[in-house]
Amino acid sequence: MIKVDHIYKTFGEKTVLDDVSCTFETGKVNLIIGQSGMGKTVLMKCTVGLFEVDKGAVYFDGRNFSEMNFKERKPIRQEIGMVFQGGALFDSLTVEQNVMFPLNMFTHMTQEEKLDRVNFCLQRVNLVNANKLFPSEISGGMKKRVAIARAISMNPKYLFCDEPNSGLDPKTSIVIDNLIMELTEEFGTTTVVNTHDMNSLTEMGEKIVFIYKGKNYWEGTFEELEMSDNPELIDFVYASKIMKRMRKH
Amino acid sequence: MNGSFCRDFKIHVIKTNILATFCKFATTLNTMLTKTWFEIGRYWKFMKGLFVKPEKFIVYYRQVMHELVSIGVGALGIVALTSVFMGAVITLQSAYNLVNPMVPLYAVGIVARDSIILEFSPTIIMLVLAGKIGSSIASEIGTMRVTEQIDALEIMGINSSGYLTLPKIVAGLLICPFVVIISIFLGIIGGWVAGDMSGIVPSADYIRGIQDQFLPFNIVFALIKTLVFAYIITSVSAYHGFHTDGGALEVGQSSTKAVVYSSIFILIFDYILTQLILA
């Protein structure tokens, strides 16, 4: 379980996170939802340590991550897999080399063992015959899948996905959502997904944190969300015509 | 009474203007100094981050090999072209200036050789490399920054500054001396060919000149300069790339800054090293 405990983050004069507390549960897909510019990505980056929090703490299974230095964080970082918004694949490496990268850096596996692991991860995300292609030669959806394959290559305990569906068509988005759900179930990871895609919310929202103006405005399950009368949450979730129609029914 | 008031008022206005100008100047100076200290501090912090134990030596070793090809072999074409023409021009200009009948013709060879070894190959070629390698390093690392590739490295627990920069610095320090030696050789050949083909400096005079009063320490001095300049180019460019913030526009700006600052530091250190070692 990941516990975010009263964190604050400001950039210059602007307060982006203002006393945010929440928990991300093990073996579940935890969604962070909210409008663009409300602090979702900053919350995720503070959680994984890419941004240092001004105040408060983040605990990974009871370990105070915020208080640790770079060296102390290393073992926890190796338990984290992250899928970035744009994929963040290394341009100069092929798909195979990208997935193999963490294995090269942190394991003492033989080349054959590494290749087996890479092929397993690529098959797991339904990518075959793409090993030798470069990121510039594959589509957006494939890039996301390679990023997921790289993120799971080290068997992570915690999986973070920053807007995994951005720039993808609805059908591919569902494929990615299902993949994240399956992997969470299969590996028992604590998965945190940052999204403003309502399809993702309905597909995989087990635990939901709604961020509004830098604050944790609402937290609950999908069922609780359906029953909620929080005006900002309703305004956000049912913003589109199709969602409004769904709500009526 | 009225005239005295007007005069006092004018003096007061002038004083206020002077004070306002001074305050503005002081504020600008303060901002500039703060920014400079910030950059210096951040540069040293960045440098400190490089020299920690690598995660895996073999990966770094492979990176160094890759960078050796990229920095050294990739720059050979432009270095060869620049060196040959530089040598040719130095020879022809030296011959043009040494018109005194008291000065023997082989002195052109001496001047060309020493100019190439002491200044043109280590400094001008490294300035050319600052343009080629510096912009390439800054834009490569800058692009990695804006596309979150550096964040991806950090999430994995990799010392991103060390992984991205140290191999480039090591490769630069290893390969640049060879590049400069090749440049010296090609520059002298260029001068020989130009002098002989134009008929201004006969081949025998030129060859005698380049052998006469040769000081091997000049080569050592050139190599010391090269090592310092190689470190400046790779570290300054990597620093600017690493601290890129924004998008494609900022990557371009970082690339420009890398070339400009590398060139300025090369010229400053050229003077300092010459003063320290030769003067």
Per-residue three-class SS string for chain B:
CHHHHHHHHHHHHHHHHHHHHHHHHHHHHHHHHHHHHHHHHHHHHHHHHHCCCCCCHHHHHHHHHHHHHHHHHHHHHHHHHHHHHHHHHHHHHHHHHCCCCCCCCCHHHHHHHHHHHHHHHHHHHHHHHHHHHHHHHHHHHHHHHHCCHHHHHHHCCCCHHHHHHHHHHHHHHHHHHHHHHHHHHHHHHHHHHHHHHHCCCCHHHHHHHHHCCCCHHHHHHHHHHHHHHHHHHHHHHHHHHHCCCCCHHHHHHHHHHHHHHHHHHHHHHHHHHHHHHHC
Q: What is the pLDDT of residue A82?
A: 93
Q: What is the pLDDT of residue A235?
A: 81
Q: What is the pLDDT of residue B87?
A: 95
Q: What is the pLDDT of residue A86?
A: 86
Subunit contact A88:B148, Cβ cutoff 8 A: yes
A&B contacts, CB < 8 Å: 54
- Tell me the CATH number of domain A26-51+65-79+156-249, given options 3.30.230.70, 3.40.50.150, 3.40.50.410, 3.40.50.300: 3.40.50.300
Q: What is the pLDDT of residue B233?
A: 96
Residues of chain A positioned with their CB less than 8 A from the CB of B56: 104-106
What are the angstrom distances between the C-alpha of B110 and each of A116, A162, B107, B116, B275? 64, 65, 5, 10, 22
Q: What is the pLDDT of residue B1?
A: 54
Subunit contact B157:A90, Cβ cutoff 8 A: no
How is the beta sheet containing A215-220 ordered, strand by strand?
A80-83, A158-162, A190-195, A29-33, A207-212, A215-220
Phi-psi region of A191 (alpha: psi -120 to 50; beta: other; left: phi over 0): beta
B208 or A168: which carries more pLDDT confidence?
Answer: B208
Subunit contact A105:B159, Cβ cutoff 8 A: no
Q: CA A46: distance to chain centroid?
A: 13
Q: State whether residue A52 sits within 8 Å of chain B by CB.
A: no
Banded pLDDT at B2 (limits 50, 70, 90): low
What mean pLDDT, rounded, does chain A reach? 88
Percent of chain A with pLDDT over 90: 47
User: Over the stretch A7-44, which tens digit does the pLDDT of each residue have?
Assistant: 999 998 899 999 999 999 999 999 999 888 888 899 99
- The Cα–Cα gap between B269 and B170 comes to 20
User: Over the stretch B28-45, which tens digit does the pLDDT of each residue have?
Assistant: 999 999 999 999 999 999
- The Cα–Cα gap between A164 and A40 comes to 13
Q: What is the pLDDT of residue B163?
A: 92
Q: How far is B97 from chain A (nearest CA, A)?
A: 51
A200 or B203: which carries more pLDDT confidence?
Answer: B203
Q: State whether residue A88 sits within 8 Å of chain B by CB.
A: yes
Residue A245 has pLDDT above 90, yes or no: no
What mean pLDDT, rounded, does chain B reach? 92
Cβ of B269: how many Cβ atoms within 10 Å?
17
Q: What is the pLDDT of residue A119?
A: 93
Q: CA B23: distance to chain centroid?
A: 36
Q: State whether residue A112 sits within 8 Å of chain B by CB.
A: no
- The Cα–Cα gap between A1 and A68 comes to 18
Residues of chain B positioned with their CB less than 8 A from the CB of A11: none
Most B CBs within 10 A among A105, A150, A157, hence the mutation to make, goes to A105
What are the angstrom distances between the C-alpha of A210 and each of A84, A154, B33, B119? 20, 30, 43, 64
User: Over the stretch A155-197, which tens digit does the pLDDT of each residue have?
Assistant: 899 999 998 888 788 888 888 888 899 889 988 999 999 988 8
The residues of chain A that CATH labels 3.40.50.300 are 26-51+65-79+156-249
Q: State whether residue A114 sits within 8 Å of chain B by CB.
A: no
Residue B50 has pLDDT above 90, yes or no: no
Q: How far is A6 from chain B (nearest CA, A)?
A: 22
- Read off the tokens for A237: 């979730």
Residue from the list B55, B56, B149 with its beta carbon closest to the beta carbon of A88:
B149
Phi-psi region of A189 (alpha: psi -120 to 50; beta: other; left: phi over 0): beta
Shortest CA distance from B49: residue in chain A: A70
Q: How far is A228 from chain B (nearest CA, A)?
A: 35
A208 Cβ contact list (under 8 Å, min separation 6): A30, A31, A33, A201, A218, A219, A220, A221, A222, A225
Is A152 in contact with A159 (CB distance < 8 Å)? yes
Residue A79 has pLDDT above 60, yes or no: yes
